A and B are shown apart, each in its own frame.
Chain A
Amino acid sequence: MTTPAIEINGLTKRYGSLTALDDISLSVNTGEMFGLIGPDGAGKSSLYRILATLMAPDSGSASVLGLDTVKDYRALRLRIGYMPERFSLYPDMTVMENLHFFASLFGVKIEDNYDLIAPFFGQLEKFPDRMAGKLSGGMKQKLALSCALIHRPDILLLDEPTTGVDAVSRSEFWDMLATLRQKEITILVSTSYMDEATRCGRIAMMDRGHILRVGTPDALAAGLGENLYNAVSADMFGLLSALRKLPEVSDCYTFGATLHVVGSDRFDSAEAERRLRREGIADARIYPAKGNIEDLFIKLAGNE
Chain B
Amino acid sequence: MNEDNYAISVRGLTKRFGSFTAVDHISFDVGRGEIFGFLGANGAGKTTAMRMLCGLSRPTAGAGTVAGCDINTQSEMIKRRIGYMSQKFSLYEGLTVTENLRLFATIYGMSDRAIREQSNRVFSLLDMDNMRDTLVKDIPVGWKQKLAFASATIHRPDIVFLDEPTGGVDPVTRRKFWELIYRVSSEGMTVFVTTHYLDEAEYCNRVSIMVDGRITALDTPEALKSEYHADTMDQVFRIVARQATRGE
Interface set of A (CB-CB < 8 Å, partner B): 37-41, 85, 123, 136-139, 160, 163-171, 192-195, 236-237, 240, 253-257, 294, 297-298, 301-302
Contacts and interface: CB of A to CB of B under 8 A. Distances in A.
Contacts of B196: 164-167, 170
A192 B200 CA distance: 14
Contact of B170 (A39, A139, A165): A39
Interface string B216-248: 000001000100000111100110011000011
Contacts of A137: 42
13 contacts: A40-B141, A85-B168, A138-B42, A160-B168, A166-B196, A167-B238, A168-B238, A168-B241, A169-B41, A193-B197, A254-B178, A254-B203, A256-B199
B120 interface: no
A164 B168 contact: yes
Given A40-B173, A171-B238, A256-B234, 13 more contacts: A40-B141, A41-B141, A138-B42, A139-B248, A160-B168, A164-B42, A164-B87, A168-B242, A254-B175, A256-B232, A257-B233, A298-B175, A301-B171
Contacts of B140: 40-41
Contacts of A298: 171-172, 175
Interface residues of B, number: 39
A298 B172 CA distance: 6
B142 interface: yes
A57 B171 CA distance: 29
A237 B242 CA distance: 32
B55 interface: no
Contact of B41 (A160, A168, A253, A255): A168
A167 B234 contact: yes
A163 B232 CA distance: 21
